[in-house]
Amino acid sequence: MQAHRHRRPRRPAVIARAVEHSLDRSGALLLVAAAAAVLVVLLLVVVATPARAARTTTVDGKFSLDRAHRLELEIPFGELHVKGTDGNRVLVHVEASCKSGHCDEFFKDLRLDSSNRGGTLRVKLEGSSFGHDWDLNNDEDGRHDRDREHGHRRGNDPDGDLTITVEVPRSLEVELNMGAGEIEIDGLREDLSIDLGAGEINVRMAARRVGTIDVNMAVGETTIHEGGHTREYNRVLGGPIRWSGGKGDSGIDVNVGAGEVDVTLE
């Protein structure tokens, strides 16, 4: 009679590992399935939710020089491009864009105000949402200077953007006053003065026109490119920077609370 063969029982540790391995695989599969389901839901939400389209409006201005030899330009914030030309008028193009729910407020009364007297043409971008705190001549209790130094956009801030392009006759001296943003200047040849609360400034001028560069900065970096040389200055606690190696008669004078200044003399 043939003996009955008995199957050797598995050890408990082996069985436990097998069960654990099975559970690990099942858990991993469940995790992958759950992640895939979440991804599908997110994609459906993105597709079903319409993106808020940006609303835009533009403002244009043409200003005759008459007898003006100097331009004062006041901008609350934004991206400002100034280009020197051979014309005899100042041309300003403003593009305002907004994606928030307060666009009507941002666009309301957006306008360019100007005056021309005493040899100075003054152009100022105004709007109801900017408030009186953007009046660069308003130093009540010193609050405006402090806010401008730190680049604060006070008052009603409807989350809008401004891009301003200005064509300026090269014969004009130019003074720019801006709360916060980016300034790019190219092609001017007379005295240039910039007052910026916070942001970036890039200036390109002919080397033969510039005699001095003065920068007064609280915090930030200044770079001057001239004659194949690059000079870098860092300011943490504030202080003036002066470069006087030019042969021209014009000066560049910059005051900025915090940011970066880059001047290229070509």
Residue type at position 21: H
Q: How confident is the model at residue 210 (pLDDT cuts 50, 70, 90)?
A: very high
Structural domain includes residue 4: no
Mean pLDDT calculated for residue range 144-154:
40
Structural domain includes residue 37: yes
| 45 and 59 part of one domain | no
| 39 and 78 part of one domain | no
| pLDDT tens, position by position, 64-110 | 999 999 999 999 999 999 999 999 999 999 999 998 777 888 888 89
Q: Which range, of 4-8, 13-17, 151-155, averages the lowest pLDDT?
A: 151-155
Q: How many domains does the chain have?
A: 2
Residues of the chain with pLDDT > 70, as a percent, come to 70
Report whether 80 contacts 176 (CB < 8 A). Answer: yes
Give pLDDT, residue 104.
86
The last residue of one of the domains, among 18, 34, 49, is: 49
Report whether 174 contacts 236 (CB < 8 A). Answer: no
Indicate the helix (H) or strand (E) that contains 39: helix 12-48
Q: How confident is the model at residue 37 (pLDDT cuts 50, 70, 90)?
A: low
Q: Which range, of 38-52, 89-103, 126-140, averages the lowest pLDDT?
A: 38-52
| 103 and 217 part of one domain | yes
Report whether 154 contacts 131 (CB < 8 A). Answer: yes
Name the pTM for this structure.
0.72
| 45 and 82 part of one domain | no
- Domain containing 21 equals 10-49
Give pLDDT, residue 38.
52
| 91 and 105 part of one domain | yes
Give pLDDT, residue 154.
38
For 233, phi then psi, to 5°, come to -130, 135
Give pLDDT, residue 106.
87
Percent helix / strand / coil, the chain, rounded to 5: 20, 50, 25
Residue 10 in this model has a pLDDT that exceeds 80: no
| 32 and 101 part of one domain | no
Which residues make Cβ contacts (< 8 Å) with residue 213, sequence separation at least 6? 224, 241, 242, 243, 244, 246, 251, 252, 254, 263
| 211 and 256 part of one domain | yes
Residue 180 in this model has a pLDDT that exceeds 90: yes
- Count other C-beta atoms under 10 Å from residue 32's C-beta: 10
What is the rounded CA–CA span in Å between residue 101 and residue 159? 9
For 23, phi then psi, to 5°, come to -65, -40
Structural domain includes residue 138: yes
Mean pLDDT calculated for residue range 153-159:
45
Tokens of 23: 């559970």
DSSP per-residue string spanning 97-164: EE-STTHHHHHTT-EEEEEEETTEEEEEEE-TTT-GGG-TT--GGGHHHHHHHTT---S----EEEEE
Give pLDDT, residue 103.
86
| 29 and 128 part of one domain | no
Structural domain includes residue 97: yes
Residue closest to 55 by CA, chosen among 161, 126, 155:
161
Q: How high does pLDDT run on average in the chain?
A: 79
Give pLDDT, residue 137.
41
Which residues make Cβ contacts (< 8 Å) with residue 131, sequence separation at least 6? 154, 155, 156
CA distances from 125 to 62, 74, 139, 223 (A): 13, 6, 18, 29
Residue 239 in this model has a pLDDT that exceeds 60: yes
Structural domain includes residue 96: yes
Per the model's pLDDT, the better-predicted residue between 18 and 39 turns out to be 39
| 250 and 122 part of one domain | yes
Structural domain includes residue 185: yes
CA distances from 74 to 105, 166, 188, 201 (A): 20, 12, 18, 15
| 189 and 65 part of one domain | yes
Structural domain includes residue 232: yes
Per the model's pLDDT, the better-predicted residue between 35 and 130 turns out to be 130
| 81 and 96 part of one domain | yes
Structural domain includes residue 3: no
| 65 and 93 part of one domain | yes
Q: How many CA atoms lie within 13 A of 93 on its CB side?
A: 5
